[in-house]
Amino acid sequence: MISVSVDLGGRRYDVAIGTGARRLLSQVLPRAVQQVAVVTQEGIGFDVEPGVPVRRFEVADGERAKSLSSVEELCRGFARAGLARSDAVVAVGGGVVSDVAGFAAAVYLRGVPHVNVATTLLAQVDAAIGGKTGVNLEEGKNLVGAFWQPVAVLCDTDALESLPAREWTSGRGEMAKCAFLGKLLDRPSNHPWSGDEGSWLHELPLEEQIARCVAIKAAAVSVDEREGDRRMLLNYGHTMAHALEGSLMRAGGDCDVRHGEALSVGLMFAALLARRLGRIDDDRVALHRKLLDSFELPTELPPGVSARTLVKFMTRDKKARHDLTLVLDGPDGVEVVPGVPQTDMLGTLVEMGCAP
């Protein structure tokens, strides 16, 4: 079992990673808890034993479940169950579950403790850690939410044994992002920043791969909990990814692109845009493509998306300060870049084969 701490000054919590991590639930719950609301999805079938009475709630599958109506339904269920402020919410599932359950925990009775039991690779390396909770609007992804830190995160690698192939791909999208954020930690001595990012991740056992990604996120969250500065680096590739997901959902039906797949395309977009702006050269773009290929991730936009529609969604990104602010690679590594010209973004999308 590997433990990584998220240190928030006077507050801290641990992320436990390994086989059987879910069995630690009764140990990490606050002592005052007398009842637990377990929020999960149909078909997850990953049982937890908190050691106190349990009320089970389910949310629907897919990004459409990340809605204010889902949060209202959960909160009304908590009220009917008599959940007190001293009790707890336990999210058992992937990123959708931790986002929705965490937001419900943040707003019910103005905040009750919650624990994330992450059952997907995406949740274990990213979504369940850091306290960002929220839901979508038709106008964009994650536009309504709250910073509400869990009291613990349990990443049980047993849950990954039955993970579908596309869910592995989704998680690897976040792992690929982490490969370019190694400067948030001391990198392995045999892996200079100018070298082949990501190669060291492939060489580690799965538990250590997850722990390395968690440590990178913890390093950013610990110094910038509410995403005012350094934590923005964790959004590398996400501006485009969220725009792609939002535009596909707006077009009708659920989004058939997994978050990690959209993120991979977003990382490629960010690299091409950085080259267009003169921040990086062809070799650095080739390194992005090589890394994404090594993770077997997509780098092309799906057919039928509009460049202007994507840019419209990007203007609503949470990092935007009445401008187009993106996280881009550069001579000193990945950093926040405000005031990116819209014409360059449109040009990059057309370069990727997107319709104007």
Domain boundaries, the chain: 2-162, 165-351
**Residues 4, 2: Cα–Cα separation, whole Å:** 7
**Residues 94, 82: Cα–Cα separation, whole Å:** 26
**Is 227 a known active-site residue?**
yes
CA neighbor of 132 nearest in space, from 121, 143, 140, 117: 143
Q: What six digits make up the tokens of 215?
A: 């440590």
- Catalytic pick from 167, 174, 245, 261? 174
Where does the pLDDT of residue 62 fall: very low under 50, low under 70, confident under 90, or very high at 90 and above? confident
State the burial class of residue 128 (Cβ atoms within 10 Å of its Cβ: 0-12, 13-18, 19+): buried
The chain-wide mean pLDDT, for the chain, equals: 91
Q: Which amino acid is at 100?
A: V
Average pLDDT of span 198-204: 69
- Catalytic pick from 22, 66, 141, 217? 217
* 30 Cβ contact partners less than 8 Å away, ≥ 6 residues apart: 86, 88, 113, 151
- Residue that wins the pLDDT comparison between 77 and 62: 77
- Catalytic pick from 22, 66, 114, 132? 132
**Is 22 a known active-site residue?**
no
For residue 198, pLDDT over 80 is answered with no
- Catalytic pick from 116, 136, 142, 235? 235
**Is 231 a known active-site residue?**
yes
**Is 110 a known active-site residue?**
yes
Indicate the Cα dihedral angle 150, 175, 268, 94, nearest 10°: -50
Q: Are 20 and 33 in contact (CB under 8 A)?
A: no
- Catalytic pick from 22, 114, 172, 242? 242
pLDDT value of residue 201: 74
* 154 Cβ contact partners less than 8 Å away, ≥ 6 residues apart: 15, 16, 21, 22, 24, 25, 28, 115, 116, 117, 118
- Catalytic pick from 63, 197, 227, 261? 227
pLDDT value of residue 204: 84
The secondary structure of residue 125, as a DSSP letter, is: I
Q: Which amino acid is at 183?
A: K
Average pLDDT of span 328-346: 94
Phi-psi label, residue 247: left if phi above 0, alpha if psi -120 to 50, beta otherwise: alpha
- Catalytic pick from 110, 138, 161, 322? 110
Q: In sequence order, what are the beta bridge partners of 146?
A: 133
CATH architecture, range 2-162: 3-Layer(aba) Sandwich (3.40)
**Is 288 a known active-site residue?**
no
Q: Using one digit for the tens of pLDDT, what is the confidence trace for 221-269?
A: 999 999 888 899 999 999 999 999 988 887 665 557 899 999 999 999 9
**Is 191 a known active-site residue?**
no
> Which of 25-29, 189-193, 231-235, 332-336 ranks highest by mean pLDDT?
25-29
* 216 Cβ contact partners less than 8 Å away, ≥ 6 residues apart: 178, 181, 182, 184, 185
Q: Using one digit for the tens of pLDDT, what is the confidence trace for 297-315?
A: 999 999 889 999 999 999 8
- Catalytic pick from 231, 258, 288, 318? 231
Where does the pLDDT of residue 285 fall: very low under 50, low under 70, confident under 90, or very high at 90 and above? very high
**Residues 311, 324: Cα–Cα separation, whole Å:** 9
State the burial class of residue 207 (Cβ atoms within 10 Å of its Cβ: 0-12, 13-18, 19+): middle
For residue 193, pLDDT over 60 is answered with no
CATH number, domain 165-351, options 1.10.357.10, 3.30.70.100, 3.90.1150.10, 1.20.1090.10: 1.20.1090.10
| pTM as predicted | 0.90
- Residue that wins the pLDDT comparison between 247 and 203: 247
Q: Using one digit for the tens of pLDDT, what is the confidence trace for 100-142?
A: 999 999 999 999 999 999 999 999 999 999 999 999 998 888 9
Strands annotated E in 68-188: 88-93, 114-118, 132-137, 140-147, 152-156
**Is 238 a known active-site residue?**
yes
CA neighbor of 143 nearest in space, from 350, 345, 346, 313: 313
Distance between start and end Cα atoms, the chain? 50
Average pLDDT of span 4-16: 94
**Residues 134, 147: Cα–Cα separation, whole Å:** 9
The proportion of the chain whose per-residue pLDDT surpasses 70, expressed as a percent, equals 92
CA angle centred on 144, ends 67 and 232, rounded to 5°:
125
- Catalytic pick from 114, 258, 259, 288? 259
Where does the pLDDT of residue 189 fall: very low under 50, low under 70, confident under 90, or very high at 90 and above? very low
pLDDT value of residue 184: 61
